[in-house]
Amino acid sequence: MATAQLWCACSQIHRPLPHRETTTVATFHRHHHHTTKDNQNKRTSPLLLTKRSPKLRMSFVDQQSPPKPTVNDDDMKRLVDFLYEDLPHLFDEQGIDKTAYDERVKFRDPITKHDTVSGYLFNISMLKLLFQPDFQLHWVKQTGPYEITTRWTMVMKFMLLPWKPELVFTGTSVMGINPDTMKFCSHIDYWDSIKNNDYLSFEGLLDVLKQLRIYKTPELETPKYQILKRTATYEVRKYEPFIVVETDGDKLAGSSGFNAVAGYIFGKNSTEEKIPMTTPVFTQAFDAETSQVSIQIVLPSEKDLSSLPAPNQEAIKLRKVDGGIAAVSKFSGKPIEDTVREKDKALWSDLVRDGLKPKTGCLLARYNDPGRTWTFIMRNEVLIWLEEFTLE
């Protein structure tokens, strides 16, 4: 039953969160009254979808239909502005403006479909009930004569399971415009994490199910980041700056130096201040041969370098990490050296394959106390900083 509810709920995991000046549907439609009046007796024509999904295009478009009315640039800009204003209300009490959609709106994602606006709104309600959705909009733009595309990130917790797994989806939504009504008549979602985005894609279902596994993440502060993209094998994250206390380590999966940096936050510092513990513990290799390794504990975000006590030992340093864009691969189990090196090599290979530019070196993030956590639920991550990244 829970799985069936999850399939239903996941159809709206990707609606974005925008901000811009208000453009109401009523105002928009008054502006277009003179355009739509001459066309009101014509046959309504669905959107010509992009070339990304020929099967969907064939099912939604009558290729023998007569020529469609022209939608000018000002019309499209007003619809783009409307989406920036309307979509933040997707999960709040106000809700989205359903009058912006044709009654027969075609929604598709890899595991769900609806053909009416009422079904579309039902899915939103189910998502609010079963999850704690958090979504962000990256951009909205016109991508065709009758088409607007949005790029988004959606993060949510499945509340029905005791461990409340976090599901992450990123991708694009292609929204079709009916030129006769100037309303949205279709909404097709494409996930970054799979290749087959057709409805009832086995790959899509498997992508949902594999995210239900247990990872134990302590309820401690972590460095703040935003997930920009999630592929089948890694996430791309944008990290905010953070401060670490560090000293020399011996190897990526080693623990040499940990007691020294832990001693700093437990009060072995110039003012004997005890500083709250955070997660994860980082070990960083600064070169491909791991000849220089640092072990690090992240300090609370409320701290800055000027307010922190000085270390008692010369070998312990405080350093501000500037943040930036990192690719991250998550795995469970005990992070032994060979495993970590294999994960680093695989991630590096995936990044090069995808045309990204990884920086030299990597980090291992360990979130759990190895003496108090079952190995199969441990959360470990390998991070590689990127030279540059453009979200397309």
What are the start-end ranges of the E strands in 145-214? 147-157, 166-178, 183-191
Question: What pLDDT is stored for residue 93 in this prediction?
Answer: 87
Which whole number is the average pLDDT over 307-335? Answer: 96
Q: How far apart are CA 173 and CA 148, in angstroms?
A: 8
Q: Which domains does the chain have, with CATH numbers?
A: 2-210 (3.10.450.50), 225-385 (3.20.80.10)
pLDDT value for 31? 47
CA distance 109 to 326: 28
pLDDT at res. 33 = 45
Query: Which residues, listed in sequence order, are joined to residue 245 by a DSSP beta bridge?
Result: 297, 318
Q: Element (H or E) spanning 6, and its range?
A: helix 2-9
Neighbours of 120 (CB within 10 A): 20
| Number of continuous H segments (helices) and E segments (strands) in the chain | 9, 15
Q: How crowded is the C-beta side of 146, counted as CA atoms within 13 Å? A: 24
Q: What is the identity of the amino acid at 256?
A: S
pLDDT band for position 122 (50/70/90)?
very high
pLDDT at 89: 85
Residue 291's pLDDT is: 82
What is the pLDDT at residue 67? 61
Q: How confident is the model at residue 319 (pLDDT cuts 50, 70, 90)?
A: very high
Higher per-residue confidence, 370 vs 380? 380
Higher pLDDT among residues 132 and 183, named by residue: 183
Q: How high is the pLDDT of residue 92?
A: 84
Phi, psi of 334 (to 5 degrees): -75, 125
pLDDT at site 65? 52
pLDDT-derived band at 59, boundaries 50, 70, 90: very low
